[in-house]
Amino acid sequence: RAWNYSLVNPGGRMLTITSSDTPWRLVLPLDKKTEYVFSDLGQDPMELNRVLEWSINSLASTVRRKHGDGAADWLIEAEKVGLWWAAERKRLWNYNPSS
């Protein structure tokens, strides 16, 4: 897949993830204070019916029920890729939160 990442907000607390082969978007919290958000931009381009949950497992379950297996499977993959991307940025920039 061709993944697209975007940090959202000045504190970098959220990462949005899309891929070129689907209309879906994941807002991935990089802290414990923000909800996970799933959007189907093909069906809901204004994001009026987003799915919000406090855990990736709850989000995947709700997405599976509302949008099908393909969307839920993509969501799990997107979360893994997003967490890898965030960790890789920290490694590349020698980020140390205790410094």
On whether residue 97 sits in a domain, the answer given is no
Query: Does residue 38 sit within a domain?
Result: yes
State how far the Cα of 25 lies from the Cα of 78, in Å rounded to an integer: 9
Instruction: Provide the percentage of residues in the chain whose pLDDT is more than 70.
Output: 98
Domain of 44 in residue numbering reads as: 3-92
Q: Quick check: is 99 in a domain?
A: no
pTM score, two decimals? 0.89
CA–CA separation, 12 vs 57, rounded Å? 23
Does 10 score more than 70 pLDDT? Answer: no
Mean pLDDT (whole number) for 36-57? 98
When the pLDDT of each residue in the chain is averaged and rounded to a whole number, the result is 93
User: How many folded domains does the chain comprise?
Assistant: 1
| Greater model confidence, 51 or 30 | 51
Is 15:7 a contact under the CB 8 Å cutoff?
yes
Beta carbons within 10 angstroms of residue 11's beta carbon: 10
